[in-house]
Amino acid sequence: MGALMNIDLKEFYHKRTITRDDGKIIADLILEKWKTENKITIDFSNILIASVSFMDEAFGKLAFEFSLKELQNKLSFVNIEQYDRALLNDILISRYRQKEVGENGKSSRDKKKIIRPKQ
């Protein structure tokens, strides 16, 4: 098991807009490394993303897969702008609330989208 993994979002910053599809790439990367890494650090490089779609796809939907404790233990967000931090937290809190009341939880569409890494 690896100790730490760093996902640097800078590679996406050359584009003018960051989309939901970009968020999916990050989510897939996190899921791929979930079992093999102790800690996954997402480095925002102090560049403002400010995209609800990206944040939701990249991190928000992880709420349907893992408990809050699991997310807090595994993920770490560094060099994140205050705005993005508030956005991230708001999305995660909304998704956990949704999960709690059973709204839009794991739909069959969501299941199809997420490919689990081989054990």
Partner 1 sequence: MESLIYPQKISIAFSNNILSLYMKAKSSQDNQVLFDLSKTKSITPFGIILLTSSIRECHVAGKECLYNQPIDPSAQRLFKDIGFNKHFSLDSSGTVPPVEIRTGTVQLRQVTDIDPLVIEGLIEILVYHMNLSPGVKGSLQMSLIETMTNIVDHSGQNTYYVCCRLNKQKKVILLCIADLGIGILSSLRKSPKYTHIRNDHAAIIESTKEGVSSRPGRAGLGLKNIVDFLKINKGQLCILSGNGKVFWKFNRGEMLKQTMPQSFKGTVIKMAINADKEGFYFLLGEKDYIF
Q: Give residues in contact with partner 1 (CB under 8 A).
A: 50-53, 68, 71-72, 75, 77, 82-83, 85-90, 92-93
Q: State the nearest-atom distance from the C-beta of 89 to partner 1, in Å.
A: 5
Residues in CB range of 23: below 8 A, 6 or more apart: 51, 53, 54, 55, 56, 57, 58, 59
- Is residue 40 classed as helix, strand or coil in its secondary structure? strand
Nearest CB to partner 1, comparing residues 4 and 93: 93
Q: State the nearest-atom distance from the C-beta of 113 to partner 1, in Å.
A: 20
Nearest CB to partner 1, comparing residues 17 and 107: 17
**CA-to-CA distance for 88 and 71, rounded, in angstroms?**
13
Nearest CB to partner 1, comparing residues 83 and 105: 83
Q: State the nearest-atom distance from the C-beta of 119 to partner 1, in Å.
A: 28
Query: In terms of C-beta density within 10 A (0-12 exposed, 13-18 middle, 19 or more buried), how is residue 97 classed?
Result: exposed
